């Protein structure tokens, strides 16, 4: 007699994820994010990574003023099974500052991921997720190489346009072209 038992895989929903936090199954010290129904550990953040996120967020907040909302390492609701926490999200303005509900893909003008030890994860797990949900533009900053990759034109689970600006270029986000950022100044200290 042979029996075949299918192995069941249980996915967590965003509501399951938040219930786990509310009941202290997950604590604030457990730096995890929910991607496609699975919990992923978030890499520790080093000083250069943290400083770069701080520099970029200050710069964007100053330049965008009331044109957009800039959030740092806050969740983004991308369907029932995904709530990633990008390093920086530039969002459409909303009077409640997203207090009543998490921002969704339709609210995003630009996402920025700063990667030190998480480059593989950001490029191969999060970037396809962002493309799948039609995030219009993602910047992936490689801390070790001091390099920026810009992804635009989402198509299924990839981006059709990949731009790697030169180190001395001024860059402008696609949907907030009223601002420009000096790439060389971004990495200097």
The tens digit of pLDDT for each residue in 80-135 reads 999 999 999 999 999 999 999 999 999 999 999 999 889 999 999 999 999 999 99
Contacts with 95 (C-beta within 8 Å, 6 or more apart), sequence order = none
Query: 0.85 exceeded by the pTM?
Result: yes
Place of tokens 């490689």: 142
* Domains of the chain as residue ranges with CATH: 45-187 (3.90.1570.10)
Alpha-carbon distance values, 87 to 2, 83, 118 (Å): 51, 13, 12
Q: Estimate to the nearest angstrom the gap between the alpha carbon of 50 and the chain centroid.
A: 15
The beta strands (E) that lie in 12-171 are given as: 32-35, 38-41, 69-72, 88-91, 108-115, 137-142, 147-155, 158-163, 170-171
* Cross-strand pairs, 153: none
Give the pLDDT confidence score for residue 8 in this predicted structure: 74
The percent of residues in the chain predicted with pLDDT above 90, rounded, is 69
Q: What is the DSSP string of 5-37?
A: -PPP--PPPHHHHHHHHHTTSS-TTS-EEEETT
Residue 39 reports pLDDT greater than 80: yes
- Residue 26 pLDDT more than 90? no
pLDDT tens column, 44-60: 888 999 999 999 999 99
- H-helix or E-strand spanning residue 143: none
């Amino acid at each position: 007699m042979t029996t075949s038992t299918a192995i069941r895989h249980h996915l967590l929903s965003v509501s399951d994820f938040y219930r786990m936090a509310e009941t202290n199954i997950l604590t604030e010290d457990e730096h995890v994010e929910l991607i496609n129904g699975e919990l992923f550990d978030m890499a520790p953040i080093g000083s250069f990574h943290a400083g770069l996120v701080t520099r970029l967020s200050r710069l964007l907040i100053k330049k965008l003023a009331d044109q957009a909302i800039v959030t740092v390492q806050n969740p983004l609701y991308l369907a029932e099974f995904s709530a990633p926490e990008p390093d920086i999200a530039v969002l459409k303005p909303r009077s409640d500052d997203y207090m009543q509900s998490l921002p969704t893909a339709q609210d995003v003008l630009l996402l920025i991921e700063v990667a030190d030890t998480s480059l593989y994860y950001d490029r191969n797990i999060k970037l396809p997720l962002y493309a799948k949900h039609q995030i219009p533009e993602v910047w992936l900053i490689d801390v070790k190489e001091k390099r920026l990759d810009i992804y635009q034109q989402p198509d299924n689970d990839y981006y059709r346009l990949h731009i790697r600006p030169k180190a001395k270029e001024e860059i402008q986000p696609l949907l907030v072209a009223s601002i420009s950022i000096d790439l060389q100044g971004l990495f200097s200290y």
